[in-house]
Structure 1
């Protein structure tokens, strides 16, 4: 069979496999099971059009409307109607019943805590999530906020004043995110924002927050372009520079390899950021970068690219893919067939790598912000599993940290200006899911990433799992 035909068959078989796996992944990620990560926050953003002022109201809710209607119980739907009519006691009863049926529903828990507040005085924060473009990531982020709100309010709030959460759906669209940022900035009750999801979206919204002196903390945007973008912009996730440095050191010191090729998406700020930072780190550490292969190129051919990489003398393949190009990255994994070691960023931290990559992905090393097994001394893995009846992802943990940081700022000075001053102070410190939370003058978090590798295991239904690498 010719090489051209072999490539065509490979791509066709991969597409069929992905199609058959899709239903299984959807079913599993919507149940209370381990979810190694859904879609990367740095995917190509949604192309939905900006919204009118009236439709913008449909993107915001503290409980009067469902933003996630899919799978909502009848009691949850009744509760939303009760909140809209001011019948908070009925809403509380219905939401408690709904959560008994589905403990893993963060929207319901947020609305429950908001309903318990009723018309009392409260402090309000907002959380922006990509419900329309990536429901799994949105749920992961909401779980982090919901857990922090629940713990705070159950313990008496801030000097007796509870925390209320407003949910905003931006579909991971920069234009819609800017509109939502404007709406939040105009709402004087909103004292801080958690979000946004992807780097492009966060960059667009950050301009509005900075102009209006409203603090925003992103738990998922990693592009280095966000560093120092404004005195009101922070993040609890390490930037791509941390991930790139960790992967470079692993390649040169642990693998004892010096030459890598990089696969990336030229249409993604995250992917380009990770590629550039990895290239800089490798050269600084004494290594070399060969060719760069654009996964977004319509003529991209995994078999030819891997063949070219090997012919160039490449010793390592670095996958700086995002979720929009995860299928192309999987083609690379399968064509490579374990001939060259694989490195990757958090964009490859998905169920597909385990289920479809399988044996071909074994020993792949990824840099991610946090892993539930990496810190056995932390209480968060236990408390989160008890609350959600499932293990949580790094997105939940880093969002929890963002909420903890905002709460710490509120505790010191419950005003927009006060929160910014608190988080910017050189002595600011709070303890979150992933340890100490401190911010650099750039707004970045001074925290190392966690390297994980793919190994056979039974913690997922795929026969493979992500395992933390220790002793580095």
Structure 2
């Protein structure tokens, strides 16, 4: 799917009854520059909010061109979507894709076509070598693995189990986490994958129960964990769970699912920042759902590109140079998630926070 209708979905409107539209400006002699978007619904909502905020602040005229149907992990679909955006002369930059596999695949097209790509939550270490037009707003999983293992007070005193999503995200993290554990003299008593689309997690629970760990490192997402949480608790009632950033979701963020209670998981952004707390609260008020880390970082990516277009115009190469200069001759861009600048590899310095599901205030709850 490409383009947008004027409808923004139930619950998404600005205060005062003004519709939250994708197009910031009305008709003009020249069409406004377009930012490509290849994300799921949470990213789309955040991008719309950013475009509306650009308008309210008197920023540049910007439109979004979304390929929501191309946001999955399929490399072929990612390549097709990237090509569609890259050959569109009105698209000056792209925010996406939704995960590391798709971002890596699409980066080949964006770098060949010289289109800036900003990946909000891509964490694969390989992305650092994607090319000079590929940037990301989070650190590599090398840093997350080190952070996660560092939160275990005494790794050698725990019986550790590692369960990981059987995809590029989970397998990559599993290798780095196990290496970090080994460096600290710890070896898991169990390691095993799960498939995201698997509906029956009996085998996973049975294997964990047999291994009898005291701590589970969950390198995956919350949807599958929710399916096995009850039976896992019955089998291992005292099990501690430590999860990576993929665990976060709108459902987890709202703090209403008892199956997630007590799970500690990594957040990619610092929720103590006043600007971020205010943004999350506004997002919840507009849509009734929590603002995930992907949504927050998508918002910052669109605002960042808006600032670039304001300063240097809607030119692909000028936007790339502007991004490269952040923190190196040009002041870092200050977004809701803090100061943004990039290494020569297009990476942002990592920021991680460990939170506890259903215990810490829900993001955007006005804490």
State the TM-score, normalized to the length of structure 1.
0.65
2:144 corresponds to 1:202: no
Corresponding residue for 2:162? 262
Asked if structure 1 preserves the Cα contact closer than 8 Å seen for 2:139 and 2:348, the reply is yes
2:355 aligns with: 452
Change (3 A) 1:300 1:440: farther
Q: What is the 5 A alignment of 1:353-372? A: 358=259, 361-370=260-269
**Is the alpha carbon distance of 1:176 and 1:439 closer, same or farther for their aligned partners in structure 2, counting shifts above 3 Å?**
same
| Among candidates 441, 450, 462, match of residue 344 of structure 2 | 441
Distance between the aligned counterparts of 2:246 and 2:304, measured in 1? 25
RMSD across aligned positions (CA): 3.4
Give the aligned partner of residue 47 of structure 1: none
| Offset at residue 284 of structure 1 (A) | 2.9
Q: Distance in 1 between matches of 2:164 and 2:86?
A: 35
Q: Give the helix-richer structure, 1 or 2.
A: 1
Q: Which residue in the other structure is 1:277 paired with?
A: 176
Q: Is the 8 A contact 2:35 2:65 kept in 1?
A: yes
Alignment partners' CA distance in 2, 1:119 and 1:228: 40
Cα contact 1:252–1:285 (8 A) shared by 2 = no
Aligned residues: 353
Q: How does 1:44-83 map to 2 (within 5 A)?
A: 59-63=1-5
Counterpart position of 2:24: 113
1:417 aligns with 2:331: no
TM-score scaled to structure 2, two decimals? 0.82
Structure 1 distance, partners of 2:20, 2:309, is 21
Q: Could you report, residue by residue, the CA deviation over 1:328-365 in whole angstroms, capped at 9, with x for unpaired residues?
A: 6536743454323111112322437966653xx43321
CA contact (8 A) 2:135 2:347 kept: yes
- How many angstroms does 1:381 deviate by? 3.4
Deviation per residue, 1:270-309 (Å, 9 max, x gap): 1112212222222334433333112239996134312332
- The residue correspondences of 1:365-444 to structure 2 (distance < 5 A) are 365-370=264-269, 373-376=271-274, 378=276, 379-385=278-284, 388=287, 391-414=290-313, 415-425=315-325, 426-427=327-328, 429-444=332-347
Structure 2: unaligned runs, 5 residues or longer? none
Establish whether residue 181 from structure 1 lines up as the match of residue 82 from structure 2.
Answer: yes
Instruction: Name the CA shift for 1:264/1:122 in 2 (closer, same or farther; >3 Å).
Output: same
- Of residues 198-207 and 117-126 in structure 1, the stretch that sits farther from structure 2 once superposed is 117-126
Contact 1:220 1:237 survives alignment (8 Å): yes
Indicate the structure (1 or 2) with the bigger Cα radius of gyration. Answer: 1
